[in-house]
Chains A and B, each alone.
Chain A
Amino acid sequence: MSSTNQVQEPESDGNVYDEQLEMYPEFNRYQYGFYKDFAEADGIKWAGGGWSYEAIPEGLGDDVYFLAGEPYGAVVAYNEEISRDFLNAADAKGLSSDLCGYMVNYWGGLTQNKYVLPDGTVYDQFPDVDFNVNSHICCTHAKWYQKAGELEAVYTDPNGEQTPFFGVDIIGGPNAYDDEDLIEYNRVQIEQMIDWIQEVTGRTFDDARYIKAVKNEMWTMSTWAKVCALQKAHPAPLEERRMFSLYAPSIARRSTDEAPELYARLLEEVTDMVERKATVSGRQDFRFISDSPPPWAHLDIYRYIRDEYNAVSLGSLYSWGLTGAWRGFDGGDEWDWTPLDTPMERGIEIEDRDTAIEEMIKWNMRRPAWNVFGGHLEAKQKVTLAMAEEFDVDFVLMHLNRGCEGWALNQVEVSNYLKDHGIPVLEYEGNQADQRDFDPSKLRQKIDMFMEGRFNA
């Protein structure tokens, strides 16, 4: 690409620091747009988790709008005052704050009948949702939308009607994409879901639209992995604090026509940065990876550790593995953080519904995050260690995240494993979406003590 980023001159070490990413505002525009559309556009509106088979409802038409619950929960959490109101409202209704932080924000917002955009704009009416769909990946996900529909009947639906809900039981784990029984179980449910969404919307499902959406999803996820893989470079072109914005569309709205196109442009720009040894950060005396979603109201912890110690987070199993497509255990027992080509690139033609369903299931089953939520300790240990080694990091920043049991699964064991392999781990307790459960000043003190040790080392 003919980049306009050449304005920055290399420093004496040959690197270009503090580069502005051209695509960053494009991603923010896209993200803001789909949240706003969900509030204001006319058409089919459905809500569900970012783990959902998002491509399926695309078969209902061009006017389908999706609200992904976890990214939306993060948006709410990021807006600190609003989040506090929602969380307190949920508490007042007896909805436990020990549950998933995203979900409690979501439920609390429903009880207030309010909807929030990323810039903090608040609507005094939660959008009228046509149906809720979610994939049940942990103890929570299907239950989230089962309850959401009930709350919508009481607090948000003008007619007091419960939003219809369909759950897909997507249980998986390492090599789940090779498990024919599991694929068949998912296929049966998806066929059922296609019938169901036609029934609740009164629309006819269009295979061609669906197939296009499946391919879009694959291109988006594959390309995102290719962007993340560029973090192997020295200096790493991106830092995770900004990657959170770049990755968000891949979980929240990945199967539109625009999504893969955005990611392709992003890949082009970041590839160019690597060739020029450019980075959005300053000096990178320390490289680290994180683990688990961050406390969204306090992303400044990443800025603090960067500004004080020139330590940059490259990414995490969370930001790269939730929607990035990687080869993973394809090569055997050891994890490979090499991006996975799409089925189309591997010569698989997806031209009919059956093939689309099968390839979509396998593709989603490959998500590295399944190794976490599937509860397979050895897999998570290998995945994390491979990431630390392949990306040449100095330590791991581990968020013991009370806001998500799935990401917290096996964390302590992984921490033990990394330390046994000589990789320092800085653990801190917090909550991705409940600011009441996180102490930023205590973390800064902990970071200071830890980094002092790194300098001494």
Chain B
Amino acid sequence: MSKYTSEHYPEPALEEFRQFRAWVNDPHEYGRAWKERNDGGVVAFFCTYAPRELVYAGGLLPVRAYGGHTASEIAESDRHIYRGMWCPFSRDVLSQGLLGKYDYTDGIVMASTCLHLRQTYQSWSENVSEEGDFQHYFMMPHGAQQDGGVEFLASKLRETLQAVADYTGKEVTEDDLWEAIEVYDENRRLLREIYEFRKEDRPPISGLQALEMVKSSHIADPAEHNELLRSALAKLEDYDGPRRDPDYRLMHISSENDDRRFMYLVEEDLGFDVTVVTEEACVGTRDFWNTTTDTYADDPFMTLAERYLERPPCPNKDWPYRNRMDQISMLADEFNVDGAVLIAQKFCDPHLLDIANERDLLEDEKDIPTLELEFDASVPIGQFKTRLQAFVEQLQTDAVDMEALY
């Protein structure tokens, strides 16, 4: 049996992280159980730009639809999405829907972000959704820095909340929305507070555990997730358990990446003491680094719109100024990064558009070596292992003062 399965991953010292792992191991079991417990509906979303607060305010649980990372399953979507140029994540997610893995969900919601996930939404709507399901697609500004964006998005969020109310048949008030905003804000604040511990020389949590923590925030009821985060935070503040002791601190900069096998490979199977200490990714800091502000304190829609447009952006929303580069630079500095792995899903236009600038920033301006990897639905362990080992060896060489040797 392959060691690249969760039962072989090092067990987290904290029970809260063991629970995060359990939710990630079987998100569908969680979703079904949540429905039973709450007598509510579950709505799948495809991209972290879909404001979960609106769905949650209506008493529904938003869960992010993820791929299965299995080469045999991803082919299921070939009849619907052109595999020759659509990213593996978008195809894998649709495949999971077509295979019935999300048959307990009651609908889908999508904000207009990348074209790849729009295709997934459209094909899911046509081929997976059933009559009566909640289906809502709305326009989300790409010009996050443009004048008028907050007002425009707020208008779309109002329509979306009304769509939720129409679906549930229950009134959803602004107070309901404020409550949902507070729950998600707290979730994001807590995640960021826990990330502070990853800055330590000997971090108490691994990159794999951090990935499971963030990914589970897209699966679990945020109120329940917050309880665990609060508990974990309390323990981490007075922590005397096992720690990582990295010789090499890496970050990854990714389009969608929730691949635990990759994280296990990097941290446990290269033959070096490597820890992934942070990431600039949507299953990571891009999703939770900011919360709402009180700029529009009397209007929950404007408040929410501002938070989504001010969040660390996906590349296709990052223009004319390159805010992402500032964010990447800040993360690399604060988490004391030795090297960066630049990950793009095959055919991911937004991230391929930025990757040259990421490389220039890190290599030329910050003297941080980079390695580019192209992700497919499943990670080619052998090939990646060789490349990552060579990359870490390069970091080792760079660490030696070559001039002093001669």
Q: Is A306 an interface residue (CB 8 A)?
A: no
B336 close to chain A: CB less than 8 A: no
Contact with A along B101-128 (1 / 0, CB 8 A): 0000000000010111011011101100
- Do B80 and A416 touch (CB < 8 A)? yes
10 A-B Cβ contacts within 8 A? A136-B142, A143-B315, A150-B357, A168-B146, A169-B149, A185-B148, A376-B122, A408-B86, A409-B115, A411-B82
A367 to chain B, nearest CB (A): 16
Question: In the complex, how many angstroms separate the beta carbon of B170 from the nearest chain A beta carbon?
Answer: 25
Contact surface of B with A, Cβ cutoff 8 Å:
79-82, 84-86, 112, 114-116, 118-119, 121-123, 125-126, 137, 139-143, 146-149, 151-152, 155-156, 315-316, 319-320, 322, 346-347, 349-350, 352-357, 359
Is A147 interfacial (CB 8 A cutoff)? yes
The total of interchain contacts (Cβ-Cβ below 8 angstroms) comes to: 143
Which of the residues A147, A182, A188, A401 comes within 8 Å of B139, measured between beta carbons?
A: A182
A429 within 8 A of B: yes
Bound Cα distance A386, B151 (Å): 36
- Chain A positions within 8 Å of B353 at CB level: 99, 139-140, 143, 147
Closest partner residue, chain B, to A90 (CB atom): B356
Given contacts A96-B355, A98-B352, contact A167 B143 (CB under 8 A): yes
Tell me whether B115 and A182 are in contact (CB under 8 A).
no
Listed from nearest, the 7 A-B pairs whose CB atoms lie closest are A169-B143, A188-B148, A375-B118, A185-B152, A377-B122, A181-B155, A96-B352
Contact B126 A377, beta carbon cutoff 8 Å: yes
CB of B152 within 8 A of CB of A139, answer: no
Q: Do B82 and A412 touch (CB < 8 A)?
A: yes
* Contact in complex: A429, B84 (CB < 8 Å): yes
Q: Using Cβ atoms and an 8 Å threshold, which residues of chain A touch B123?
A: 377, 410, 413
Chain B interface, DSSP helix/strand/loop, else mixed: helix
- Which A residues are in CB contact (< 8 Å) with B352? 96, 98-99
Contact check: which of B114, B119, B137 meets A410 at CB < 8 Å?
Answer: B119
Query: Are A95 and B356 in contact (CB-based, < 8 A)?
Result: yes
Looking at the assembled complex, report how far the CB atom of A389 sits from the nearest CB atom of chain B, in whole angstroms: 21
In contact, A146 and B322 (Cβ under 8 angstroms): yes
Decide: A167 and B79 in contact? CB cutoff 8 A: no
CB-based contact A405/B349 at 8 Å: yes
The chain B residue sitting closest to A138, CB to CB, is: B115
- In the complex the two chains form, is B115's CB within 8 Å of A139's CB? yes
Looking at chain A's contact residues, is the secondary structure mostly helix, strand, loop, or mixed?
mixed
Q: How far is the CA of A182 from the CA of B354 in the complex (A)?
A: 27
Given the contacts A139-B114, A412-B82, A94 and B149 also touching, CB distance less than 8 Å? no
Task: With CB as the reference atom, state the residue of chain B lying closest to A99.
Answer: B352
For B82, what are the chain A residues with a Cβ–Cβ distance below 8 Å? 400, 408, 411-412
Q: Contact flags (1/0) for A163-187 with B, using CB distance below 8 Å?
A: 0011111011100000001101101
In whole Å, how far is B1's beta carbon from the nearest beta carbon of chain A?
Answer: 35
B315: chain A residues within 8 A (beta carbon)? 143
Given contacts A146-B320, A168-B143, contact A139 B84 (CB under 8 A): no
In Å, the complex CA distance between A406 and B349 comes to: 11
Within 8 A of B (CB), among A367-415: 373-378, 400-402, 405-406, 408-413
The reply to whether B85 and A189 contact each other, CB–CB distance below 8 Å, is no
Query: Using Cβ atoms and an 8 Å threshold, which residues of chain A touch B347?
Result: 98
Distance between B394 CB and nearest chain A CB, rounded to angstroms: 17
Could you tell me which residues of chain A, from 184 to 206, have a CB within 8 Å of some CB in chain B?
184-185, 187-189, 192
B356 with A408: CB separation less than 8 A? no
Annotate A88-103 by CB proximity to B: 1 below 8 A, 0 otherwise.
0000011110111000
Task: Provide the bound-state CA to CA distance between A357 and B137, in Å.
Answer: 27
Q: Give the docked Cα–Cα distance between A142 and B356 (Å).
A: 16
Q: A98-B347, A143-B354, A169-B143 are in contact. List 9 more A-B contacts (CB 8 A).
A: A94-B356, A136-B143, A139-B353, A168-B143, A181-B156, A185-B149, A375-B122, A410-B123, A412-B80
Q: Which residues of A contact B346 (CB under 8 A)?
A: 98
A10 to chain B, nearest CB (A): 44
Q: Check A143–B356 contact: CB distance below 8 A.
A: no
Contact B355 A94 (CB under 8 A): yes
Residues 122-158 of A contacting B (Cβ, < 8 Å): 136, 138-140, 142-143, 146-147, 150
Are A139 and B316 interface neighbours, CB within 8 A? yes
Q: Given A98-B85, A140-B349, A412-B79, are A184 and B152 neighbors across the interface (CB < 8 Å)?
A: yes
Q: Which of B79, B115, B315 has the most CB of A within 10 A?
A: B115
Q: Is the CB of A143 within 8 A of B85?
A: no
State whether B148 touches A189 (Cβ < 8 A): yes
Q: Which has the most chain B C-beta neighbours within 10 Å: A94, A99, A143, A400?
A: A143
User: Is there contact, CB below 8 Å, between A171 and B359?
Assistant: no
Q: Is the CB of B146 within 8 A of A169?
A: yes
How far, in angstroms, from A172 to B146 measured CA to CA in the complex?
A: 16
Cβ-neighbour of A406 out of B115, B139, B151, B322 (below 8 A): B115
Given A139-B115, A184-B152, check contact A189 B320 (CB 8 Å). no
Of the listed residues B122, B125, B346, B353, the one surrounded by the most CB atoms of chain A closer than 10 A to its CB is B353
